[in-house]
Amino acid sequence: MKRTIVLASNNQHKLKEFQRILTDYTIITLHDIEFDREIEETGETFEENALIKAKAIHDYLTEKGLDYIVVAEDSGLCVDALNGEPGIYSARYAGGHGDDQKNREKLQKELEGKKRDAYFVCTIMVYYPNGEHKTFVGKTFGKITECELGRKDFGYDCIFYSNDLKKTFGEATEEEKNSVSHRGRAIQEMMKDL
């Protein structure tokens, strides 16, 4: 029987990415465990935010008597010339949470006349039922393009030119992106431990 992992997210993009890679596990979401509490990400680093999410879900599962592994992640885009911004604020860079177009527009404005080297980072926190937890980090490097290229349906993908793929994540297939993405690399590290 497959072990169950609770992904501390309802983001369908993330769910699909984890499901494609972790085929030996049943991956369920916060919706599936009826978790509807607000988790405030008050950390100052990706690792702190991932731990806050993982522990909150772990505590909820313990209350319910459920013996699942929790996987929480925090990820974002870091631009060298902006001292690592947008960083932990990537999803809400322009103010509101998840307005990808406004976030990209703000980033382009901030980068006028500056170097465009950037990287995505993903920090995964695995929280085991016994309270033990471990961190896994993946990064992928590239630069911010001046115009949007490819699909515009997910975050900064259409303006992130991957050094590995020689095209933007927006132009890449899901398989290509997963093979070099920050999340894919962090998941590969996590799999060695699982």
The half-sphere exposure of 129 on its side-chain side, counting CA atoms within 13 A, is 13
Contacts of 144 by beta carbon, 8 Å cutoff, 6+ apart: 79, 107, 108, 111, 116, 118, 156, 159, 160, 161
Catalytic residue selected from 59, 74, 153, 164: 74
Contacts of 19 by beta carbon, 8 Å cutoff, 6+ apart: 27
74 catalytic? Reply is yes
Instruction: Report which of 159, 161, 166, 184 is spatially closest to residue 174, judged by C-alpha positions.
Output: 184
Which spans in the chain are helix H?
A: 12-21, 46-64, 100-110, 174-180, 182-193
Residue whose entry in the numeric block shows the structure tokens 């919706």 = 31
Residues recognised as catalytic = 74
